[in-house]
Structure 1
Amino acid sequence: MQETTFELQERKTDKELYSYQQGALQNIFEKFDNEREDFHLLYQLPTGGGKTVIFSEIVRQYLKNHNKKVLVMTHRVELCNQTSAMLTSFGVVNKIVNSKANLDDQERYSCYVAMVETLNNRLNDDKLDISDVGLVIIDEAHYNSFTKLFKFFENAFILGVTATPLSSNKDLPMNGNYDELITGESIENLIENEFLARAETFQYDMGLTSLEVGSNGDYTVKSSADLYTSPSMLNKLLEAYLKHSKDKKTLIFNNGIETSIQVYYTFQNAGLPIMHLDNTATKKQRKQILKWFRETPNAILSSVSILTTGFDEPTIDTIILNRATKSLTLYYQMIGRGSRVLNNKSKFTVIDLGNNMYRFGPWGADLDWQAIFKSPNFYIDRIKDDEEIEGVFKHDLSDEIKAEFSKSDNTYFDIKSTYKDATFAGESSKVVLEKSIAHHAYICIENSEDVYDALALAKLLKEDIDNRIQVYAKCISKSTYNFLSWLKDDYQKKLNAYLRENFDTVFEDIHGHPPED
Structure 2
Amino acid sequence: MTKLQLITKNLVDTINTLTEEAEEIYILTSFVMKSGVKKILPSLKKAALRGAEIKIGTGDYLHITQPDALQLLVDELPEAEVRMWKSGGKSFHPKAYLFRTNGLGHLIVGSSNLSASALTSGIEWNLHAPPAVDKDIFEKGLEEFEGIFHHEYTIPVNKETIKQYRESYDQFHREQSVVKHWTEAEETEMIFAEPADQAEIVSEPTEPYIVSKETLYPRPAQKEALDALENTLEEEYDRALVVMATGLGKTYLAAFFARKFKRILFIAHQKELLTQAKKSFQHVMPERTAGILNADYKEKDVDMLFASVFTLGMKHHLESFAPTDFDLIIIDEFHHAATNSYQTILDYFQPEFLLGVTATPDRMDNKDVYSICDGNTAYRIHFIEAIQKNWLAPFVYYGVYDDTDYSALTWLGTRYDEEQLLQVQLKEEMAEKIETAWKKYRQTKTIGFCSSIRQAEFLSQYFNQKGWKTIALHSQTKSYSRQDAIKALDSGELDIIFTVDLFNEGIDIPSVDTLLFARPTQSLTIFTQQIGRGLRVADGKSHCVIIDLIGNYRNADIKLQVFDGDPDNKKKKKGIIPTVPENCHIEFDLEAVELLKEMTRKKNPRKDQLLYAYEELKLELGRRPSYLEFHLKAHADSKAIKEFYGSYSGFLHAIQEMTEQEEQVYLKHESWFQEVERTSMTKSYKMVVLSYMLSKGANKWLESITPEEVAPFFHDYLTSKEYRKRIDFSDKQSRELEQYEEKKVATLIDNMPMTKWSGSSKGMITFKNNQFQVHIEVEKEHEQILFKWTKEICEYRLHWHFERKDRVKV
Normalising TM by the smaller chain, what interval?
0.5 to 0.7
CA distance in 2, matches of 1:283, 1:319: 23
Identify the residue that residue 484 of structure 1 maps to in structure 2: none
Q: 1:281 aligns with which of 474, 477, 498?
A: 477
Give the corresponding residue for 1:331.
Answer: 527
Q: Which residue of 204, 208, 214 corresponds with 2:412? A: 214
Which letter does structure 2 place at the counterpart of 1:165? P
State the partner residue of 1:174.
369
Q: Look up the equivalent residue of 2:595 and give its one-letter code.
A: F
Aligned mates of 2:497, 2:278 — CA distance in 1? 27
The correspondence for 1:235, drawn from 427, 432, 457, is: 432
CA contact (8 A) 1:234 1:266 kept: yes
Tell me, yes or no, if the aligned pair for 1:224 and 1:323 is still in contact at 8 Å.
no
Q: Is the contact made by 2:557 and 2:596 (CA closer than 8 Å) also made in structure 1?
A: no
* Aligned match of 1:28: 229
Q: Distance in 2 between matches of 1:394 and 1:116?
A: 40
Identify the residue that residue 224 of structure 1 maps to in structure 2: 421
Contact kept, 8 Å, 2:364 with 2:524, in 1: the verdict is no
**TM-fit CA distance, 1:350:** 0.3
2:455 is paired with a residue of what secondary structure?
helix
TM-aligned CA deviation for residue 354 of structure 1: 4.2
Q: What is the alpha-carbon distance in structure 1 between the residues aligned to residue 381 and residue 410 of structure 2?
A: 36
What whole-Å deviation, never above 9, does each CA across 1:178-205 have from its counterpart, x for those lacking one? Answer: 3222343332332233221111111023
Residue 399 of structure 2 corresponds to residue 203 of structure 1 = yes
Tell me the amino acid that sits aligned with residue 233 of structure 2.
F
| Counterpart-to-counterpart distance in 1, 2:432 and 2:380 | 41
Indicate the residue corresponding to 1:292 in structure 2: 488
Deviation at 1:294, TM superposition (A): 2.4
Residue 393 of structure 1 aligns with an amino acid whose one-letter code is L
Match of 1:262, as an amino acid? F
State the match for 2:334 in structure 1. Answer: 141
What is the distance in 1 between the residues matched to 2:466 and 2:216?
A: 44
1:86 equivalent among 256, 274, 280 = 280
Task: Provide the C-alpha distance between the structure 2 equivalents of 1:302 and 1:15, rounded to a whole number of angstroms.
Answer: 35
Amino acid in structure 2 at the alignment position of 1:294 = D
> Aligned partners of 1:61, 1:304: CA distance in 2, in Å?
39
Measured in 2, the distance between the counterparts of 1:151 and 1:174 equals 14
Unmatched tracts of structure 1, length 5 or more: 1-9, 64-68, 372-388, 396-413, 418-517
> What are the equivalent positions in structure 2 for 1:66-145 lying under 5 Å apart?
69-92=263-286, 93=288, 94-103=290-299, 106-107=300-301, 109-121=302-314, 124=317, 126-129=319-322, 131-143=324-336, 144=339, 145=341
1:17-61: CA deviations, max 9, x gaps? 133321211211322332354x4x221011111111211101112
Secondary structure, counterpart of 1:147 in structure 2: helix
Q: Determine if contact 2:324/2:350 at 8 Å carries over to the other structure.
A: no
User: 2-side partners of 1:197 and 1:231: how far apart?
Assistant: 34
8 Å contact 1:268–1:274 — kept in the other structure? yes
* Alignment match, 1:45: 244
Match of 1:17 in 2: 218
In structure 2, list runs of 5 or more residues that go unmatched.
1-210, 571-590, 602-810
1:59-458 matched pairs, under 5 angstroms: 59-63=258-262, 69-92=263-286, 93=288, 94-103=290-299, 106-107=300-301, 109-121=302-314, 124=317, 126-129=319-322, 131-143=324-336, 144=339, 145-166=341-362, 172-180=367-375, 181-206=377-402, 207=404, 208-215=406-413, 217-245=414-442, 248-281=444-477, 285-296=481-492, 299-354=495-550, 358-361=557-560, 364-368=563-567, 392-393=594-595
Q: Is the 8 A contact 2:365 2:524 kept in 1?
A: no
**Inter-partner Cα distance in structure 2 for 1:354 and 1:211:** 16
Q: How much does 1:240 deviate?
A: 0.9
Q: Which amino acid aligns with 2:251?
A: T
Compared CA separation, residues 78 and 364, structure 1 to 2 (3 A): same
* Residue-pair matches, total: 358
Q: RMSD across aligned C-alpha pairs, in angstroms?
A: 3.2
Q: Structure 1 residues 364, 394: CA separation in 2 closer, same or farther (over 3 Å shift)?
A: closer
- Match for 2:504: what amino acid? T
Q: Which amino acid aligns with 1:311?
A: I
Structure 1 partner of 2:255? 56
Q: Percent identity?
A: 23
Amino acid at match of 1:230: K
In the alignment, the residues of structure 1 paired with residue 270 and residue 502 of structure 2 have an alpha-carbon distance, to the nearest angstrom, of: 10
Deviation at 1:100, TM superposition (A): 3.1
Query: TM-score under structure 2 normalisation?
Result: 0.41
CA distance in 1, matches of 2:593, 2:545: 27
* Cα separation, 2, equivalents of 1:212 and 1:148: 35
CA shift for structure 1 position 214 = 2.3
Closer/same/farther in 2, CA of residues 199 and 36 from structure 1, 3 Å limit: closer
The alignment's TM-score, normalised by the length of structure 1, stands at: 0.63
Distance (whole Å) between structure 1 residues aligned to residue 559 and residue 596 of structure 2: 20
Distance between the aligned counterparts of 2:392 and 2:381, measured in 1? 11
CA offsets 1:89-134 (integer angstroms, 9 cap, x no match): 101522222223344xx44x22211121122237546344553212
- The one-letter code sitting in structure 1 at the alignment partner of 2:482 is R
Alpha-carbon displacement from aligned partner over 1:389-412 (angstroms, at most 9, x marks no partner):
9894299xxxxxxxxxxxxxxxxx
* In 1: Cα distance, 2:477 partner to 2:525 partner: 25
Q: What is the rounded CA distance, in whole Å, between the counterparts of 1:391 and 1:368 in structure 2?
A: 21
Distance in 2 separating the partners of 1:294 and 1:237: 22
Kindly indicate whether the alpha-carbon contact (under 8 Å) linking 1:13 and 1:91 is maintained by their aligned counterparts in 2.
Answer: no
